Amino acid sequence: MSGTPVPTRRSGRPLHGEPILERAFRVLGAFAESGEGLPLHTLAARAGLPKSTTSRIAAQLMGVGALERLDNGDFVVGLQLLEIASLAPRGHGLRAAALPFMEDLHQVTRQHILLAVRDGHEAVLVERLSARDAAAVKYRVGGRLPLAETGIGIALLAHAPEQVRDDALAGATDAGHLRRLMATVRGEGVCAMTVPNPLRTGPTTMSTVAAPILNRRGDSLGALSLVAPDEGGTQVAARIALRTASLAISRTVGL
């Protein structure tokens, strides 16, 4: 999964009067993979900024620890960002509550167990436990997932504000199917779907079972999902396991 898309401009110049903070986040948003190192010209191209501007902003970000530079000159994300991001209550706090239950699911299934929160019209993956021999999946921790096209996204979308749901339905290929999946999440506390594998390697279809994590008022805190190769009759047990885990996490958070 790539990082947050950064708008580019044919002129390579930022919008007139664009604040330095927004340009700095465009530079940080240029990184797409964990541990990725980028030379200056690639960093500038992805951020849609001139090299001189990118170089100046990168130097400032290095000064505060948000970027680091390798011996070959490439830029990488700095540890200071990890330290700050770990304080985010919607990610780290939920992750701490969910992790014991995710580990249990992971031990039993030996597949991918995902935890995500909604950010606007996208889901952000805050944790993923994966077995070494599990089929490869597209999304990384910190990556963004489409709400209407993934099981964990639909579990989040079902309890999103009405405007977010309406926007998703308006852009859906099959709005009726999406509406039924959201209704299943709200009615049964879990949904299951089989989708084409977005990766060229591995099985042609993948199965995902997802459940929302709600607070006492019924507001969405996040969602949990199991992603595995489509093997037919395993979804019933997975639905029960995911539903049970999501309820336990909700009680642990206690909001």
Q: Parse the chain into domains and list their residue ranges.
A: 20-85, 89-253
CATH 3.30.450.40 fits 89-253, yes or no: yes
pLDDT, tens only, 32-73? 766 678 999 999 999 999 999 999 999 999 999 889 998 899
Give the pLDDT of residue 86.
65
pLDDT, tens digit, 9 for 90 and up, residues 131-162: 777 777 777 888 888 999 899 999 999 999 99
State the pLDDT at residue 81: 81
How many CB atoms within 10 Å of residue 248?
Answer: 16
Average pLDDT taken over every residue of the chain: 84
In this prediction, residue 11 has a pLDDT band, given cuts at 50, 70 and 90, of: very low
The radius of gyration of the chain's CA atoms, rounded to the nearest angstrom, is 20
Instruction: Tell me the two tokens of residue 162.
Output: 């009405």
3-class SS of residue 137: coil
The predicted pLDDT at position 253 comes to: 84
Helix %, strand %, coil % for the chain, to 5?
A: 40, 20, 35
Three-class DSSP category at 206: strand
194 touches 234 (CB < 8 A)? no
By C-alpha distance, which of 87, 162, 151 is closest to 116? Answer: 151
Can you tell me whether residue 70 is helix, strand or coil? coil
The CATH code of domain 20-85 reads 1.10.10.10
Q: How confident is the model at residue 196 (pLDDT cuts 50, 70, 90)?
A: confident
Per mean pLDDT, which range of 59-68, 109-118, 203-212 is the poorest? 203-212
Predicted confidence (pLDDT) per residue in 155-193, tens digit: 999 999 999 999 999 999 899 999 999 999 999 999 998
Cα distance between residue 255 and residue 247, in whole Å: 13
DSSP collapsed to 3 states, 208-253: EEEEEEECCCCCEEEEEEEEEECCCCCHHHHHHHHHHHHHHHHHHH
